[in-house]
């Protein structure tokens, strides 16, 4: 069983030898106020039991049949991470089974790699809080090396912040995408340095144009500019590393426009492009269960005393088992 609680989602997944038996979740309603950590954590506490029971029912297994448990150690919001960690520890102690902390970003990359049947892809991991270009490296230990990343905010949070600026309704990112469909391009700041990128200049510029250009034009332009930046940096990473596979993962991977742009980059170079089903791009417990099962089978468990959370648990610090 895998438990995810790093942000607004409390998710529980159950896997059996890599086969997903259940992937259930309940989400905190961000409304127009965004995420207030204590409120999100309170909602997770309220929902935890229901989500665990629903997942067991869907998987048609009893709690007694759970052979190990994993939870999201980070990165994420401290108050939220605590809830999943506590639920997992309670299960591990109650059932007398092994437990392992899982890096949230590793889980996104690994579930997509599995779903897309890729061997050694470059991964573009894009979500609210993260935007990174990654590749598996073996030294000094197996980990995802960060080839490129955002200098400031994640692309998802940038689009959400802009949507709030022009008073759109949640879900902000997808509302931007809808308006973008009828927009015309306005030139905007484009910041790529090698394989790194930055988004706050773009956000400030687009926000200053609010009311001066139509929301459709601004949404189209901020989306096209930020996604083009991601495509340029990713294309550079693919070519520099001689890679022939690209996977797209994380919450923003649900964007059909970003998928389309990266697919065309891959097509131009004869590379494979892969993206998982949306249920795995959004936060979910299934990906945590998938990675936890593999870790536990290879003996990578942790003692209860050493099971902690880490809000800024960077992907390159996590051992990939
Ligand atoms: Fe995520």
Top-level class of domain 2-106+280-317:
alpha beta
- Interacting residues of 160 by C-beta distance below 8 A, sequence separation 6+: 128, 172, 173
Residue 171: the pLDDT is: 78
166 CA to middle of ligand 1, Å?
25
Q: Ligand 1 centre and the CA of 251: distance in Å?
A: 6
Separation of CA 240 and ligand 1 centre (Å): 27
How many Å apart are CA 295 and CA 70, to the nearest integer? 9
- Distance in Å, CA 4 to ligand 1 centroid: 9
Q: What's the 286 CA to ligand 1 centre distance in angstroms?
A: 12
* Whole-number pLDDT of residue 185: 97
In this prediction, the residues of the chain whose per-residue pLDDT falls under 50 are: none
pLDDT tens column, 63-112 = 999 999 999 999 999 999 999 999 999 999 999 999 999 999 999 999 99
Q: What is the pLDDT of residue 34?
A: 80
For the record, the structure tokens of 271 come out as: 């590379």
Backbone angles phi, psi at 284, to 5 degrees: -160, 155
Q: For the chain, percent helix, then strand, then coil, each to nearest 5?
A: 45, 20, 30
Ligand 1 center–CA 211 separation, angstroms:
33
Q: What is the pLDDT, as a whole number, of residue 35?
A: 87
Cβ-defined contacts of 7-10 (< 8 Å, 24+) = 7/35, 7/40, 7/76, 7/77, 7/80, 7/128, 7/129, 7/283, 8/35, 8/40, 8/80, 8/283, 9/282, 9/283, 9/284, 10/43, 10/44, 10/47, 10/48, 10/51, 10/83, 10/84
Cα of 212 from ligand 1 centre, angstroms: 34
pLDDT, one tens digit per residue, over 165-205 is: 999 987 788 899 999 999 999 999 999 999 999 999 999 99
- Distance between CA 193 and CA 153 in Å, rounded? 15
Please name which of 123, 121, 142 lies closest in space to residue 133, comparing C-alpha atoms. Answer: 123
What separation in Å is there between the alpha carbon of 10 and the centre of ligand 1? Answer: 11
- Return the pLDDT at 94: 98
The closest alpha carbon to 41, from 2, 72, 81, belongs to 81
Alpha carbon distance 229, 63 (integer Å): 46
pLDDT, residue 31, reads: 79
pLDDT of 285 = 98
Q: Are 2-106+280-317 and 119-278 in the same CATH fold?
A: yes
* DSSP 8-state secondary structure symbol assigned to residue 252: G
Domain ranges of the chain: 2-106+280-317, 119-278
Cα 105 to ligand 1 centre (Å):
7
pLDDT at 242: 97
> Going by CATH, does the domain composed of 119-278 fall within 3.30.70.270?
no
> Quick count: other Cβ atoms within 10 Å of Cβ 267?
11
Q: How far is the CA of 187 from the centre of ligand 1 (A)?
A: 30
Largest CA distance in the chain: 62
């Amino acid at each position: 069983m895998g438990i995810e609680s790093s942000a607004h989602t409390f998710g529980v997944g159950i896997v059996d030898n890599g086969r997903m038996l259940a992937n259930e979740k309940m989400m905190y309603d961000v409304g127009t106020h965004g995420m207030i950590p204590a409120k999100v954590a309170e909602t997770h506490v309220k929902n935890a039991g229901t989500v665990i029971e629903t997942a067991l029912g869907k998987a048609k297994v009893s709690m007694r049949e759970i052979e190990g448990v994993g939870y999201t150690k980070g990165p994420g919001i401290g108050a939220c991470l605590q809830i999943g960690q506590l639920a997992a520890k309670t299960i591990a102690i109650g059932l007398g089974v092994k437990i392992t902390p899982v890096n949230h970003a590793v889980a996104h990359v690994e579930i997509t790699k599995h779903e897309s049947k890729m061997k050694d892809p470059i991964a573009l991991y894009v979500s609210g809080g993260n935007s990174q270009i990654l590749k598996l490296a073996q030294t000094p230990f197996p980990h995802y090396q960060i080839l490129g990343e955002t200098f400031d905010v994640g692309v998802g949070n940038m689009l959400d912040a802009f949507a709030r600026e022009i008073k759109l309704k949640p879900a902000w990112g997808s509302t931007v995408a809808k308006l973008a469909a009828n927009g015309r391009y306005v030139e905007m700041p484009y910041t790529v340095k090698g394989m790194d990128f930055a988004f706050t200049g773009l956000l400030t510029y687009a926000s200053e144009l609010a009311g001066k250009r139509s929301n459709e034009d601004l949404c189209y332009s901020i989306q096209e500019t930020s996604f083009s930046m991601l495509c340029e940096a990713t294309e550079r990473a693919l070519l520099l590393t001689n890679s022939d596979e690209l996977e797209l993962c994380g919450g923003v991977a649900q964007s059909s426009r970003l998928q389309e742009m990266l697919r065309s980059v891959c097509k131009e170079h004869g590379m494979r492009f892969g993206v998982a089903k949306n249920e795995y791009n959004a936060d979910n417990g299934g990906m945590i269960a998938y990675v936890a099962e593999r870790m536990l089978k290879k003996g990578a468990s942790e003692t209860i005393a050493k099971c902690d959370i880490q809000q800024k648990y960077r992907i390159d610090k996590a051992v990939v088992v």
